Amino acid sequence: MQLYDGFISQINGLIGRRPAITVDYFPSRLKNAGKNNVLFLNETAFELGGSGEKCVSTLAVTSSFKYSNRTYILGNDIKNIKADCPFAKVVLLEIEDIDEENAFDRIKQLEQIRYSFCPEGFMSRASAISMREQIRVGKRAVKDKISLADYANCIMGEYLRNPIVKSAEIILVTDRDFDYDGLISVAEKIKDTTSALSHILDNVLFDCKNCNLKEICDEVEGMKELHIKTANK
């Protein structure tokens, strides 16, 4: 699976411009609070991506790059955040070189973790359409000195339990000076690529000249070839 490789390189370019704290994977002390976990406002210390702040969340898979199961944190950790702030969450996964015909379903299964898995002490409000994932951080989590690395490693462990995931990298950003708009642009292309993949694998035939996904097919190496291969079956 190499359809997202170009976008992963763009993300690496954005991240590489900023200093980051690097944390190797360790079994998190946090448990899964479940998708129905609720934190009320009186239980919330602050919200990452709340109050209209910049916010973006994206996931990309590859069979080309190998990761070291690390988390990169750009900006303040939980103990130094006092109010709502901008937030970005990027999950990069090295997966087995899966059959392209099963790719969409496998990717959606991995994306579903965003909506079904949340560490205790946090509440996630995610939207696939807007690519936002706002995270409420509980007062108890702050009191217990929970870090962003604790949060990330709890999630990373869930991804690594998936049999097709070979390695992972999670990037969390709270730095106000980060290029959130640049990351949002890349995340939009990742979302459109997955949408185009769905159309192609459903054998939806369309006029490439008038298709609103033409730009993605032109940019993503291998997308047109996959379309032609699927259409000829």
The highest-confidence range among 31-35, 48-52, 103-107, 223-227, by mean pLDDT, is: 48-52
Kindly tell me if the per-residue pLDDT of 152 is higher than 70. yes
pLDDT at 37: 80
Instruction: Give CA–CA dist 173/169, Å, rounded.
Output: 13
pLDDT in tens, 82-134: 999 999 999 999 999 876 667 778 888 999 998 888 999 999 998 878 899 99
Kindly tell me if the per-residue pLDDT of 226 is higher than 70. no
Q: Domain 5-178 belongs to what architecture?
A: 2-Layer Sandwich (3.30)
- Quick one: what percent of the chain has pLDDT higher than 70? 83
pLDDT at 209: 63
- Which of 22, 27, 15 is closest to 119 using CA atoms? 27
Burial, 41: exposed, middle or buried (Cβ in 10 Å; 0-12, 13-18, 19+)? Answer: exposed
Out of 149-158, 187-196, 222-231, which region has the weakest mean confidence (pLDDT)?
222-231
* Domain boundaries defined on the chain: 5-178
- Cβ-proximal residues to 32 (8 Å cutoff; 6+ apart), any chain: 117, 118, 119, 120, 154, 158
